[in-house]
Amino acid sequence: MPTSLISLVSLCKEIESTRSRKKKVELLSSFLKRLDSSEIKPAVLFLLGRPVPESESRALHVGYSTIANALMVHQQHLPVEMNLTIHEFASMISKVADAKGGGSRKFRKDHLSGLLARLTEEEKEYVVRSLSGDMRIGANEGIMIEAIAHASSAPVEEIRMANMILGDLGLVAETALTRGRNAIKALGVNLFVPLKPMLAETARSTDEALKILGKAAFEFKFDGVRVQIHKSGEVVRIFSRRLTELTSSLPDVVEMVLKSIPAQSVILEGEAIGFRDRPLPFQELMRRMMRCHQIDEMMKLVPVKLFLFDILFLEGRSLIDKPYVDRWRILQEIVPSELIAPRIVTDDREEARNFFERSLSEGHEGLV
């Protein structure tokens, strides 16, 4: 029997009312196990406030004004139907995401108005939260990963790795619950499918980092745009940390990669910063990145410098399971030194402090 949207909303309310992380995981896990295979992905994305996965090129393009206009139109009409299912909701949202070209803005508003007209007041509250990316129910990505692991009897680390590879936690959940642990373990890195970035934890100072780690690698921290670069032969595509494509905004970076990176197939991570003798303010780089036209002119006004700091894939082989020290060695072997982020490995506090001061003196933000 299809699962109703109201049952998903009831889950949202129950999760929101409990502070216990363990209880949240249990509630989510139990709910996921009851769903039909086609309902798992949209339910997970709804709960995360991401109706469209990060890894997809589609976007809802539904901002506050679109939702507000849809609500105004909806308030002028009585509800026409109730008991929407999760599958029906996902289908309607997919149509909104597919809307393109002339008239798409009106289509989105009208379609959302029609959707809202089919919802109860309770459903409407959580649908608006999900569409706006502001769920605030206490079911963040980390808790959801634990719940998927619990529901599928897979280790949390395997679910976390699968999420990094696919960039779509809804698809990860569907795969884990319907095809099992072996399917999750078999997932591999694919060129031109962006991977979710690995994120660092913070430390208040280089002294604190050394106290925690003993010996540590320090790299310059840049005030730019994090980029993930995929190259296959003469084709280069660039993605942001949010998995959106940036290739058309960074033709100069594409040229750098084609000219300087000899590998036939590779995925690299780094940072692109505005640079003219010294780093330019982040706002200037953003002004360039947001331009859809006159890119050549913006390239002259805001030149970009590329710093690479990781390699995730090389010549058909995934490197994400390799230790950081091995990936760095491979990076140095295939990337010219002028494109590699400045880095030291040390357990000496004075050396780390001096490196931190050097980063600041050169106009950067500090160290990672």
- Strands (E) in 40-187, as ranges, are none
Residue 198 belongs to a domain? no
pLDDT of residue 109: 82
Sheet of 366-367, strand order: 343-346, 216-221, 366-367
Dist CA 140 CA 260 (whole Å): 40
Kindly tell me if the per-residue pLDDT of 117 is higher than 90. Answer: no
Residue 58 belongs to a domain? yes
Residue 151 belongs to a domain? yes
Same domain, 245 and 169: no
Kindly tell me if the per-residue pLDDT of 78 is higher than 80. Answer: no
Same domain, 216 and 279: yes
Residue 38 belongs to a domain? yes
Which residue(s) pair with 235 in the sheet?
232
Residue 27 belongs to a domain? yes
Same domain, 15 and 124: yes
% of residues, the chain, pLDDT over 90: 76
pLDDT-derived band at 107 (thresholds 50, 70, 90) equals confident
Between 56 and 147, name the one with better pLDDT. 147
| Per-residue CA distances from 327 to 101, 238, 247, 312, 320 (Å) | 43, 20, 24, 8, 8
Between 16 and 75, name the one with better pLDDT. 16
Same domain, 140 and 253: no
pLDDT-derived band at 261 (thresholds 50, 70, 90) equals very high
Of 78-82, 183-187, 223-227, 258-262, the least confident: 78-82
Residue 210's CB is within 10 A of a number of other CB atoms, namely 20
Same domain, 166 and 252: no
Kindly tell me if the per-residue pLDDT of 100 is higher than 70. Answer: yes
Same domain, 224 and 180: no
pLDDT of residue 200: 74
Residue 273 belongs to a domain? yes
Between 118 and 263, name the one with better pLDDT. 263
pLDDT-derived band at 67 (thresholds 50, 70, 90) equals low
Kindly tell me if the per-residue pLDDT of 289 is higher than 70. Answer: yes
The arithmetic mean of pLDDT across residues 248-276, rounded, is 97
pLDDT, mean over the chain: 92
The secondary structure of the chain in percent helix, strand, coil, rounded to multiples of 5, reads: 50, 15, 35
**Planar angle of CA 161, 245, 275, nearest 5 degrees:** 105
CATH of the domain at 64: 1.10.3260.10
Asked if residue 306 lies in contact with residue 272, where contact means CB atoms within 8 angstroms, the answer is yes
Same domain, 140 and 272: no
Kindly tell me if the per-residue pLDDT of 105 is higher than 70. Answer: yes
Dist CA 94 CA 99 (whole Å): 9
% of residues, the chain, pLDDT over 70: 93
pLDDT of residue 320: 93
pLDDT of residue 70: 59
Same domain, 95 and 226: no
Same domain, 164 and 244: no
Residue 163 belongs to a domain? yes
Number of domains in the chain: 2
Same domain, 181 and 259: no
CATH of the domain at 273: 3.30.470.30
Kindly tell me if the per-residue pLDDT of 286 is higher than 90. Answer: yes
**Which domain does 309 fall in, by range?**
206-367
Query: Could you say which of 152, 185, 218 is where a domain stops?
Result: 185
Kindly tell me if the per-residue pLDDT of 59 is higher than 70. Answer: no
List the catalytic residues.
Answer: 221
Same domain, 40 and 167: yes
* Structure letter (DSSP) for residue 245: B
pLDDT-derived band at 243 (thresholds 50, 70, 90) equals very high
Dist CA 73 CA 302 (whole Å): 43
pTM, whole model, 2 decimals? 0.85
Residue 201 belongs to a domain? no
Same domain, 159 and 249: no
Q: Where are the alpha helices (DSSP H) in 135-248?
A: 141-152, 156-166, 169-179, 181-185, 206-213
Kindly tell me if the per-residue pLDDT of 81 is higher than 80. Answer: no
